[in-house]
Amino acid sequence: MKLEEIIGQLFILGFQGKDLNEHSPIIQDIKKRNLGGVILFDRLLANNKNHNNIESPAQVKGLCDFLQKHSQSPLLIAIDQEGGMVKRLKRKTGFPETESAYELGIHNDVIRTEIHAATTACTLGKLGINYNLSPVVDLNIYPDNPVIGKIQRSFSASPEHVVHHAVLWLAEHKKQNILTCLKHFPGHGNSQTDSHLGFTDISNSWKKSELIPFQKLINDKKSSPIDSIMLGHLYHKGFDSKYPASLSPVIVGSLLRNKLAFQGVIITDDLQMKAITDNYGLEESVCLALAAGVDMIIVGNNLEYKPDFLKQVIPAIQRAVKEKKIEEEHIYKAWKRVSRLKEKLDNTQHKL
């Protein structure tokens, strides 16, 4: 496989619209540039639209089938379906209601958590969505945290409590063959600001206990192997005085790969979030992320719509490889990890 085709496999992109055709930009990315995955949104914030990829169960199923049949390998079809306030599949468009992580943590009932996790996973499976960007394993240390505690995304402030419910969540998704993602490494629970809106410095607020859920879940035989871990756009000068986690070779290599011994796919949060775009160009941040050792990159195309992004960024990455700014060996290692992740998917989900 050519280098440019391998690079395409390292991206998950958002796109516009609930109906596609052969000429749609995202289909062209899948067919011509070997795109690795897509991500679905219910709204298109870039155009101030309260609708985007999701209208009804039948429409989403048809959309996923159409996307999948154009891909040479199983296409990752991702979504943020955590429950509570953070879900793209909502009751108003015909999908079942599910409780937030916080509500499940408060009840602390195994059966209740299993039911909501199973409902989520079964819904995704029936639609053809094979990758849920959850669970959140951040600790609810700061309840007024605008992006975690305040919108009830964390199971608990207790690492053990978080791990307990995350294991249940992961197990129900595994039963339905839905890939999962722990987030947001190295811990977003005690941040005071929202990385969607700007620079988020956790240097003084972050606690060592925030690593515990990640470490325990990586080591836990019931939940292992973990499919993927998402890096937050979180700056901690004690780890890396120059780069946030999503662009940091120290956090990716020394901490997550070496110290925590994680061997699965490492993925960025959406690189269009302002914590990144306020400080880096999009092509620059992509190259920095890959140079840091990241395996997959999310560009949501939601905060800003760039239908030609992949067409433009692949040559930039090729130049960076040629100039030794990105190790070519890492591109191949990342591709192998992504390929192993896709091997977990049921072949029936991929219709050629």
Query: CATH number of the domain at 14-345, please?
Result: 3.20.20.300
- Residue whose token pair is 């003084």: 204
pLDDT at 347: 53
pLDDT at 346: 66
The phi, psi pair for 349, rounded to 5°, reads -75, -15
pLDDT at 29 over 80: yes
pLDDT at 197: 65
In the chain, where the domains are located: 14-345
Task: Dig out the tokens for 142 from the structure.
Answer: 């700061």
> How many Å apart are CA 324 and CA 215, to the nearest integer?
32
Half-sphere exposure of 205 (CA within 13 A, CB side): 18
pLDDT at 192: 86
pLDDT at 23 over 70: yes
pLDDT digits (tens, 9 = 90+) for 100-117: 999 999 999 999 999 999
pLDDT digits (tens, 9 = 90+) for 238-259: 999 999 999 999 999 999 999 9
Nearest to 335 by CA among 6, 86, 99, 92: 6
Neighbours of 50 (CB within 10 A): 8
Task: Dig out the tokens for 134 from the structure.
Answer: 């959850």
* This prediction's pTM: 0.96
The pLDDT confidence band at residue 172, using thresholds 50, 70 and 90, is very high
Burial of 91 per CB tally in 10 Å (0-12, 13-18, 19+): exposed
> How many Å apart are CA 203 and CA 206, to the nearest integer?
6
pLDDT digits (tens, 9 = 90+) for 37-57: 999 999 999 989 999 999 999
| Beta-ladder partners of 235 | 201
Sheet holding 131-132, edge to edge: 179-180, 131-132, 76-79, 37-39, 11-13, 297-299
The pLDDT confidence band at residue 140, using thresholds 50, 70 and 90, is very high
Q: Which of 138, 269, 270, 295 is catalytic?
A: 269
Neighbours of 129 (CB within 10 A): 27
> How many Å apart are CA 44 and CA 304, to the nearest integer?
9
> How many Å apart are CA 269 and CA 333, to the nearest integer?
20
Query: In whole angstroms, how far apart are CA 263 and each of 37, 85, 329, 333, 335?
Result: 20, 31, 16, 11, 13
196 is catalytic: yes
Task: Dig out the tokens for 191 from the structure.
Answer: 């941040």
Per the prediction, the chain carries an average pLDDT of 95
pLDDT at 67 over 60: yes
Q: Which of 196, 201, 330, 350 is catalytic?
A: 196
Which amino acid makes up residue 94? G
Per residue, what are the HEC states of the chain?
CCHHHHHHCCEEECCCCCCCCCCCHHHHHHHHHCCCEEECCCCEHHHCECCCCCCCHHHHHHHHHHHHHCCCCCCEEEECEEECCEECCCHHHCCCCCCCHHHHHHHCCHHHHHHHHHHHHHHHHHHCCCEECCCECCCCCCCCCCCCHHHCCCCCCCHHHHHHHHHHHHHHHHHCCCEECEEEECCCCCCCCCCCCCCCECCCCCCHHHHHHHHHHHHCCCCCCCCEEEECCCECCCCCCCCCHHHCHHHHHHHHHHHCCCCCEEEECCCCCHHHHCCCCHHHHHHHHHHHCCCEEEECCCCCCCCCHHHHHHHHHHHHHHCCCCCHHHHHHHHHHHHHHHHCCCHHHCCC
pLDDT digits (tens, 9 = 90+) for 271-291: 999 889 999 999 999 999 999
Crossing angle of helices 212-219 and 159-175, rounded to 10°: 40
pLDDT at 352 over 50: no
pLDDT at 319: 97
Share of the chain above pLDDT 90, in %: 92
Rounded average pLDDT over 298-320: 96
pLDDT at 235 over 80: yes
The pLDDT confidence band at residue 199, using thresholds 50, 70 and 90, is confident
